[in-house]
A = this chain, B = another copy of it.
């Protein structure tokens, strides 16, 4: 399976540290990590995954590799700008959202459209016009987040065992 980590390119020490631990947990699990491939939370998650022998896939927004972080194994160059966010959320079997700004919010939304489970670590809380809270699974530690992502991860329709 492929587990995604989403979060801001600007990340403080807390978010970066959580992202590293989540990435490390994904690497340790034997599943692949998918991110947007850039800095901040994305870079820390990739570094964590590599530290435990994981494989890292990046869905990059630009036309080249200048903004890919150095822990990316498989860089996918989309040239689609922020529309590439839809690809991360479709490809992941589950996502962990850490902190983040509007890009992360868009990815949470797209994951909910696609039915991809989202685990939240200090990230957006959203309530629609009828008071419905968006169904993000809340975790409070990196270990909890990884465990929840693996537990809720959903095979894609048509996915082989």
Pick the residue among B74, B86, B102, B130 that contacts A57 (CB under 8 A).
B74
A52 close to B (CB within 8 Å): no
**CA distance in complex: A87, B79 (Å):** 7
Chain B contacts for A112, CB-based, 8 A = 102, 105
Nearest-Cβ distance from residue A51 to partner chain B, whole angstroms: 18
Query: Given that A99-B129, A125-B127, A129-B122 are contacting pairs, would A81 and B63 also be in contact in the complex, using a CB cutoff of 8 Å?
Result: yes
Q: What total of chain A residues lie within 8 Å of the partner, measured CB to CB?
A: 54
Chain B contacts for A156, CB-based, 8 A = 64-65, 75, 77
How many copies of this chain does the complex contain? Answer: 4
Chain B contacts for A74, CB-based, 8 A = 2, 32, 57, 74
Which B residue sits closest to A131, measured CB to CB?
A: B125
Interface mask (A66-103 → B, CB under 8 Å = 1, otherwise 0): 11101000111111111100110011000000011111
Which residues of A does B touch, CB under 8 Å?
2, 15, 32, 57, 59, 63-68, 70, 74-83, 86-87, 90-91, 99-103, 105-106, 108-110, 112-114, 122-130, 134, 156-160
12 contacts between A and B (CB under 8 A): A63-B90, A63-B114, A79-B80, A79-B87, A79-B90, A80-B81, A82-B86, A102-B112, A105-B109, A105-B128, A122-B129, A124-B128
